[in-house]
């Protein structure tokens, strides 16, 4: 019976899937499976042939293999490896080369014979690549093929560098990289313009020949492409779907990467559910959006025809369910994000008291506050609350070099216009331009350049916060040390960042904290900043009484919004407030028109922000709620 239930739950899934609570647990298991193959081959006096991948996905696997070697005596002397791919052209000692990656992450720490290591050569003359690729294939075949091939998956659905359009029988070859793949790599290279346009990769056909294939994916950023790869139609547009034709493949993913699979995202379609309030809300809003009907117009037939008969039977009649969910969503809407004083707040998301709240907005970068929640920011200030903003990092990496030089030129011209000696500035300008001429991709800027870039963003942030209505003394620049430190150190400590955050929180003693819950930002900074803030707050919860009456609200920014069923506070914006928010975003001139790290969205940040909040308003209206110009959405952080 359990097997039948599992088969029913996974009926949309076309490949075997193993799901772990965390990527660490999954990586330990994958490493154990690889170690078992190595030991079996050793016992048979044979060579173990491993197909290896690069990127974030296998790092913890390699870390565990190193531990097994150093602590449990696992030997790699009988191991031959073939790597999936390499950028072209690239030097092996380049910081971004996969040769260097593999040495740093694995080979330099184990007893493998480097003569047994095979990685595509990014230094070849282009006319020699075809012969090299043929020899690469022949060498794999000479060892009897690959015993186990590990894979990651890119957001285009590529495996190796087999981009959309790759053939299922393709072999090792030179390929042109997809624009999204290059954008995803832009941080490593210091900008997309520095990312190679080509790569040498094993083909899909080569991968298919492996006796065992393990595809790994971690975190919510991969959830969408994982669903397509596992449940979608086989298509050259998503090369990972070809793996559905293999009898030897298994997808190994963590919980976050699994959330869009049917059995988790819309479980009512595949099984009977244990219905709680959140799941009912999710199902009803899904049904309304799927049928493009207001919630109050959903019928018994709508429920029965879309996998929700159990819900209708258990909690019906359905009109009562509809009214309950409609009221729940309606009560998320508030024009009083700080609470409405001396009012019945039982139907509002925030507390009515105290009348004046101390609120702090934590902004990972200097523009996240106005981009993500500028309208709410403005409303809190206009309604008389004591609003603070804390800019957690300088954001100095996101300023173009020529923009930085323009400010130094202005400083020189201003000094001269005031009959001041500009000799120092002229020397500084000369040293900056000399450095930039020889600056390597992703090389850290000099301290002086970082300072100027940081001051540019500081000035913009002050202008934006002032426009939102903040007083200067409530604008805090934290410049958390991890931000610059992480550019030069691999093992970064966050203790001083945490202590600094604790100190600021103790000074303000807020009733409300607004923090970025948008962990999909391409820099990773949002997640780090949130974890620092949360650790600081959790420590204070043990010693500070005011924390018991402090709520944390999460906002999302330019990348994507909360789902409707997740939203707990929806702040509607008037057309005038949308315009005022736009003007606050415009103060961040260094981030217009094309920011240094735009992610995979070509729109300007202010356009993304308006489109996102207007889409949320449209969805509320589609569900039968009032029609607003825009809505900013928040979710309250729940403590265990």
Q: Which of 13, 163, 561, 632 is catalytic?
A: 163
**CB neighbours of 22 closer than 8 A, spacing ≥ 6?**
254, 255
Burial of 138 (0-12, 13-18, 19+ CB in 10 A): exposed
Structure tokens at 57: 């996905």
CA atoms within 13 A on the CB side of 271: 19
Residues recorded for the chain: 640
Residue labelled with tokens 């709620």: 625
Contacts within 8 Å (CB) and 24+ apart, 54-57: 54/83, 54/84, 54/85, 54/98, 54/101, 54/102, 54/152, 55/152, 56/152, 56/218, 57/151, 57/152, 57/153, 57/216, 57/217, 57/218
**CA–CA gap between residue 298 and residue 286 (Å, rounded):** 11
Best CA proximity match to 161, nearest among 192, 182, 183, 186: 182
163: annotated active-site residue: yes
Structure tokens at 528: 């780090």
Q: CB of 373 within 8 A of CB of 514? A: yes
**CA–CA gap between residue 238 and residue 572 (Å, rounded):** 38
**CB neighbours of 640 closer than 8 A, spacing ≥ 6?**
none
**CA–CA gap between residue 175 and residue 133 (Å, rounded):** 12
Eight-class DSSP state of 567: -
Region of residue 219 (left: phi > 0; alpha: psi -120 to 50; beta: else): left
**CA–CA gap between residue 529 and residue 519 (Å, rounded):** 10
Catalytic residue annotation: 163
């Amino acid at each position: 019976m359990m097997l039948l239930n599992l088969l029913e739950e996974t009926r949309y899934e076309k490949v075997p899937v193993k799901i772990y609570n965390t990527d660490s647990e999954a990586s330990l298991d994958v490493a154990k499976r690889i170690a078992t193959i190595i030991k079996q081959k050793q016992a048979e006096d044979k060579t173990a042939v491993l197909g290896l991948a690069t990127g974030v996905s296998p790092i913890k696997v390699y870390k565990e293999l190193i531990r097994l070697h150093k602590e449990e005596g696992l030997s790699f002397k009988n191991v031959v490896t073939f790597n999936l791919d390499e950028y072209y052209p690239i030097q092996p000692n380049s910081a971004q080369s996969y040769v260097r990656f593999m040495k740093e992450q694995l080979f330099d720490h184990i007893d493998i014979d480097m003569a047994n290591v095979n990685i595509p050569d990014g230094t070849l003359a282009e006319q020699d690549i075809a012969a090299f690729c043929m020899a690469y294939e022949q060498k794999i075949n000479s060892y009897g093929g690959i015993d186990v091939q590990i894979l990651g998956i890119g957001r285009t659905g590529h495996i190796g560098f087999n981009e959309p359009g790759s053939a299922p029988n393709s072999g090792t070859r030179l390929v042109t990289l997809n624009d999204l793949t290059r954008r995803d790599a832009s941080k490593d290279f210091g900008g997309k313009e520095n990312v190679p346009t080509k790569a040498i990769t094993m083909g899909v056909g080569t991968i298919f020949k492996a006796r065992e294939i393990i595809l790994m994916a971690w975190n919510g950023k991969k959830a969408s492409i994982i669903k397509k790869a596992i449940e979608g139609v086989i298509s050259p547009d998503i090369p990972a779907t070809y793996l559905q034709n293999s009898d030897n493949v298994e997808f190994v993913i963590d919980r976050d990467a699994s959330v869009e699979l049917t059995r988790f995202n819309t479980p009512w379609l595949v099984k009977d559910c244990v219905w709680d309030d959140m799941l009912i809300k999710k199902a009803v809003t899904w049904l309304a959006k799927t049928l493009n009907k207001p919630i109050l117009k959903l019928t018994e037939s709508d429920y029965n025809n879309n996998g929700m008969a159990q819900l209708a039977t258990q909690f019906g009649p359905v009109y009562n369910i509809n009214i309950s969910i409609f009221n729940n969503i309606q009560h998320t809407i508030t024009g009083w994000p700080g609470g409405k004083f001396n009012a019945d707040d039982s139907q509002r998301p925030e507390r009515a008291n105290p009348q004046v709240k101390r609120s702090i907005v934590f902004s990972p970068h200097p523009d996240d506050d106005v981009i993500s929640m500028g309208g709410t920011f403005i409303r809190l200030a206009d309604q008389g609350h004591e609003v603070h903003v804390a800019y957690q990092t300088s954001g100095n990496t996101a300023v173009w070099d020529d923009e930085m030089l323009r400010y130094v030129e202005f400083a020189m011209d201003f000094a001269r216009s005031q009959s001041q000696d500009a000799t120092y500035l002229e020397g500084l300008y000369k040293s900056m331009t000399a450095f930039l001429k020889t600056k390597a991709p992703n090389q850290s800027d000099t301290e002086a350049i970082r300072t100027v870039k940081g001051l540019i963003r500081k000035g913009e942030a002050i202008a934006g916060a002032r426009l939102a209505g903040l007083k200067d003394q409530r604008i805090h620049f934290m410049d958390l040390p991890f931000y610059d430190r992480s550019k030069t150190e691999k093992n970064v400590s966050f203790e001083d960042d945490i202590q600094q955050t604790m100190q600021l929180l103790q000074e303000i003693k807020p009733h409300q904290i607004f923090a970025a819950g948008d962990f999909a930002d391409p820099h990773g900074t949002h997640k780090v900043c949130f974890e620092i803030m949360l650790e600081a707050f959790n420590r204070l919860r043990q010693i500070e009484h005011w924390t018991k009456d402090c709520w944390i609200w999460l906002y999302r920014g330019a990348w994507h919004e909360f789902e409707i069923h997740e939203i707990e506070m929806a702040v509607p914006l008037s057309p005038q407030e949308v315009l005022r928010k736009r003007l606050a975003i415009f103060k961040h001139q260094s981030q217009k028109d094309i920011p240094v790290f735009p992610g995979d969205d070509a729109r300007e940040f202010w356009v993304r922000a308006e489109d996102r909040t207007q889409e949320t308003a449209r969805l509320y209206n589609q569900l039968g709620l009032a029609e607003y110009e825009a809505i900013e959405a928040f979710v309250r952080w729940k403590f265990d």
